[in-house]
Amino acid sequence: MKKQKNIINFEFKINNKKFKIKTKKCETIYSQISGLMFKKNSPSLLFKFKKPKSLAIHSFFCKKFMAIWFLKDKIVDIKIIIPNKLSIKPKNKFDKILEIPSDSKYFNNVRNVENLTIYGEVVSEHPKKSPFERKIANQTSAFRQRLRFFWDFF
């Protein structure tokens, strides 16, 4: 069995739950630029930067993935990224990005722990919302999805 280069076990915590994910370190400029683009089967990717940055990422030519931004081993932001979006930024500066493809076994494990956002929309409902609040949130979410469809169409 051939051992892949730059594969490491990356550990982090979300809500006191520990995760250990096999990731490929993207150290070269080419690997950082290409990321998950054009990849059918890719391991999770870890990008490390020397100084904290506030860069935007994109999802052109990528399948759906989860991005987790870290600053000094603390999570800054977590988002599920859908394909063909131009500028996706975290809330604050970061020094690491972990990209987990949607077909990875880790994707749903992490997603089930945290209320994740797709461009600011809550994916899973907060359990303490009343039925009326959930109904309003679902109607608002459906309206935003229709609006996003028309925006992307033009």
Each residue's pLDDT tens digit, 36-90: 776 777 888 898 888 998 888 888 888 888 889 999 888 888 888 888 888 888 8
Instruction: Label residue 6 left, alpha or beta by phi (over 0 means left) and psi (-120 to 50 means alpha).
Output: left
Distance CA 127, CA 147 (A): 26
Identify the DSSP state of 57. Answer: B
For residue 137, what pLDDT is reported?
Answer: 63
The confidence band for 125, taking pLDDT boundaries of 50, 70 and 90, is very low
For residue 6, what pLDDT is reported?
Answer: 81
- Share the mean pLDDT of the chain: 76
For residue 93, what pLDDT is reported?
Answer: 93
Greater model confidence, 107 or 19: 19
Domain boundaries, the chain: 7-123, 129-154
Q: What is the pTM of this model?
A: 0.69
Q: Structure tokens of 39?
A: 């990849």
Read off the pLDDT of each residue in 129-141 and give the average, rounded to a whole number.
62
Q: How far is CA 154 from the centre of its chain?
A: 26
Q: What share of the chain is helix, strand, coil (3-state, %, to 5)?
A: 25, 35, 40
Read off the pLDDT of each residue in 87-101 and give the average, rounded to a whole number.
89
For residue 138, what pLDDT is reported?
Answer: 61
Instruction: Look at residue 132 and give its three-state secondary structure.
Output: helix
Residue closest to 99 by CA, chosen among 138, 51, 142, 42: 42
Q: Structure tokens of 54?
A: 């506030």
Distance CA 111, CA 79 (A): 9
Which CATH number describes the domain made up of 7-123? 2.60.120.1140
Greater model confidence, 80 or 126: 80
